[in-house]
Amino acid sequence: MKDIRKWEYSKKLLYATWLLIWILLPICVTASIIVADISPLREYVIGAFSLASISHGFYYWKAKNENLHKYGRDQEIRHD
């Protein structure tokens, strides 16, 4: 496995988001089963997917702009 310190910040953000989601999921499910109330799961799912979509959107936006710059296209490609 690569040295984590050499990863780009955006990849660290992406992996930290997924790690957080997978750590909190069993905790939230277990707590919901113990308490017999599944309403916290709704909040967890909304929050987790919001966080994941924001971090993935940032990562892909950054990668797209880096590739456009790398291949000499300083302006965005428009598909009209």
Tally of domains in the chain:
1
Full domain range(s) for residue 18: 9-69
pTM of the model: 0.60
Whether 21 is in a domain gets the answer yes
Answer for the pair 50, 34: CB distance below 8 angstroms, yes or no. Answer: no
Q: How far is CA 73 from the centre of its chain?
A: 27
More confident residue, 32 or 4: 32
Whether 47 is in a domain gets the answer yes
Residues belonging to the chain: 80
Whether 80 is in a domain gets the answer no
Q: Give residue-wise pLDDT tens across range 34-55.
A: 888 888 788 888 888 898 888 8
Write phi, then psi, for 42 (nearest 5 degrees): -60, -45
Both tokens of residue 1?
Answer: 């496995």
Res. 77 pLDDT band, cuts 50 70 90: low
